[in-house]
Amino acid sequence: MKNPFHLLRERSGRSLAARLSLWIVLFAALIFILALGFLFYVSRGAVREEAIEHATQVLDNTVLRVNGILDDVRIASDNSEDLIYEKLASPQDIFALSRSIVRNNPVLNGCSISFEPDFYPEYGRYFSAYTENLNGEILSAQEGNDDYQYFYMDWYLLPKLLMQPVWTEPFMDYNPNAIYATEVIASYCIPLTDGASNFIGSLSIDLSLDWLSETISAVKPYPNSYSIMIGRGGTYLVHPDSTKLFYETIFTPSLLEDRPAMDELGHAMLDGEEGYRSLLVDGQPSYVFFKPIPSTGWSVAIVCPESDVFAGFNRLRRSVFFNLLLGLLLMFVVIARIIQRQLAPLGRLVSQTKTIASGRFDEELPALARHDEIGQLNSSFAEMQNSLVSYIDELTRTTANKERIEGELRIARDIQMGMVPRIFPAFPQRSDVDLFASMTPAKEVGGDLYDFFIQDEKLYFCIGDVSGKG
């Protein structure tokens, strides 16, 4: 079975209509491809800019919601700080305040009001009024003990050392002898001081990272996009792959292979920059839009696979190319039919020339009611055919006359040559005489003659020119 493209090539090689149609369609295809290529190039840039704007808006809204949650935590802390100073004289009031803070702020996971060793001697070395919201149930306990020396915990030590409010990195709490948060939390910590600005304790308000992660991941600009958040050291705090949380950093892939683009992204996020990068994420071309949360030192990013960003554009491109191919095929068929109809007289002329070549000069050519080049060619060919027939007739008559004249001349030549002696030796019985003669006419019949004979022992010969030329 022959290849269809080979058949098309063979057909187009024999048919002028097919060749013209093919060239027209190829030229049209070239124009369409160049125009569509430029259009797609511009459109892709427009889609890319729109995607950047859309993803940036989603990221801005996400960070705005996160900042709103963090602001709620800060406001709750600021409002409670003065109340703590008012109730310092009563440890029980401190417990009640801790419960009130958690009860009045559903967004909070827990609250600790903790003091320096022996601040309340009646409670011993440790005093930390801790309240937890456990699935809607408010639980309180004194969480300090020898197995849980909170003085060395980040949520207590950082505000003591920095003497200013601070967010801790997310952590998993554990206190074997009291209640504790069973999920990953981040704490907003405020240092508590006495009248002389000496550190006396810490107010620590806990926020569930799972709840924060749900908030961050709630909005997706594209079906397969996802959100991540890294801490101050690049550790993943939010990631769809839970195996990476707290165990991997954004720089981990670079430990296995050279990933300069990922390293550059990680450093930009840790430096508090805002923007986007185009790079490979898990082997897939993606756009990563990132923005910092200044109050915490964290950075949120939205990863959008390039296939999602340009999904609609790619569908449109495939549809356009399919319709283009279908249109070109239809154009080829229509143009081929039109050209074939317009060039049909040429086909008859080709057939007529073959007939003439076979010797049939009287084959009549049908008349065309056309005045274009093809009509003129048909008329000229008909005139040429008539002229050729006339010429052949004239040539036939001329040839017949020539053959008749040549026949008569041959007879005259034979008669002329028969009149002169052509047998040699002329006198075989005599040894004393030897003679040879020859006559070659310049034309079919010459005007010369000769003769010779012996009489009375004398040799007589004569040469004559009856045409008067010699």
Instruction: Note the pLDDT tens digit of each residue in 158-217.
Output: 999 999 999 998 887 665 555 555 678 889 999 999 988 899 999 999 988 888 888 888
State which of 292, 313, 334 marks the end of a domain. 313
Q: Considering the entire predicted model, what is its pTM?
A: 0.65
- Which residues does 342 contact at the CB level (< 8 Å), separation at least 6? 374
Instruction: Note the pLDDT tens digit of each residue in 448-459.
Output: 777 777 777 777
The answer to whether residues 224 and 248 belong to one domain is yes
Residue 262 falls within a domain, yes or no?
yes
For residue 247, what is the DSSP state?
A: T
CATH of the domain at 41: 3.30.450.20
The answer to whether residues 52 and 150 belong to one domain is no
The answer to whether residues 110 and 190 belong to one domain is yes
Evaluate whether 165 touches 189 at the Cβ level (below 8 Å).
yes
Instruction: Note the pLDDT tens digit of each residue in 28-75.
Output: 888 878 877 787 777 777 778 888 888 888 889 988 888 888 888 898
The answer to whether residues 231 and 252 belong to one domain is yes
Residue 469 has pLDDT above 60, yes or no: no
Cross-sheet strand order for the sheet of 236-238: 236-238, 226-230, 298-305, 284-293, 275-281
Evaluate whether 59 touches 300 at the Cβ level (below 8 Å).
yes
pLDDT given at position 365: 66
The answer to whether residues 256 and 354 belong to one domain is no
Query: CA-CA distance, 173 to 334, in Å (whole number)?
Result: 78
Residue 318 falls within a domain, yes or no?
no
Residue 109 has pLDDT above 60, yes or no: yes
The answer to whether residues 405 and 451 belong to one domain is no
pLDDT given at position 415: 75
Query: CA-CA distance, 250 to 236, in Å (whole number)?
Result: 7
Instruction: Note the pLDDT tens digit of each residue in 85-102.
Output: 999 989 999 999 999 999
Q: Is 401 helix (H, G, I), strand (E, B) or coil?
A: helix
Instruction: Note the pLDDT tens digit of each residue in 249-258.
Output: 888 888 878 8
Please provide residue 200's backbone torsions phi and psi, each rounded to the nearest 5 degrees.
-120, -15
The answer to whether residues 253 and 307 belong to one domain is yes
Tokens of 19: 């060749």
Range in 152-166, 302-316, 380-394, 431-445 with the lowest mean pLDDT:
431-445
Query: CA-CA distance, 305 to 307, in Å (whole number)?
Result: 5
In the block, residue with structure tokens 């003591």: 160
In the block, residue with structure tokens 């149930």: 137
Query: CA-CA distance, 302 to 229, in Å (whole number)?
Result: 9
Residue 3 falls within a domain, yes or no?
no
Residue 332 falls within a domain, yes or no?
no
Residue 81 falls within a domain, yes or no?
no
Q: Is 181 helix (H, G, I), strand (E, B) or coil?
A: coil
- Can you name the residues that pair with 198 across neighbouring β-strands? none
The answer to whether residues 190 and 147 belong to one domain is yes
Supply the Cα-derived Rg of the chain in whole angstroms. 57
The answer to whether residues 196 and 184 belong to one domain is yes
The answer to whether residues 116 and 166 belong to one domain is yes
Domain extent for 429: 420-465
State which of 195, 212, 229 marks the end of a domain. 212
Query: CA-CA distance, 238 to 298, in Å (whole number)?
Result: 11
Calculate the alpha carbon distances from 400 to 403, 409, 424, 455 in Å.
5, 14, 39, 49
The answer to whether residues 424 and 454 belong to one domain is yes
Residue 461 has pLDDT above 50, yes or no: yes
The answer to whether residues 457 and 442 belong to one domain is yes
Query: CA-CA distance, 373 to 343, in Å (whole number)?
Result: 11
Range in 215-229, 309-323, 343-357 with the lowest mean pLDDT:
343-357
pLDDT given at position 133: 86
What is the mean predicted confidence (pLDDT) over 146-150?
A: 86
- The closest alpha carbon to 129, from 162, 161, 95, 176, belongs to 95
Residue 339 falls within a domain, yes or no?
no
In the block, residue with structure tokens 């165990």: 247
State which of 212, 236, 268 marks the end of a domain. 212
Evaluate whether 140 touches 130 at the Cβ level (below 8 Å).
yes
Please confirm whether the linkage preceding 425 is cis (ω < 30° from 0): yes
| Total number of domains in the chain | 4
Residue 357 falls within a domain, yes or no?
yes
Residue 205 falls within a domain, yes or no?
yes
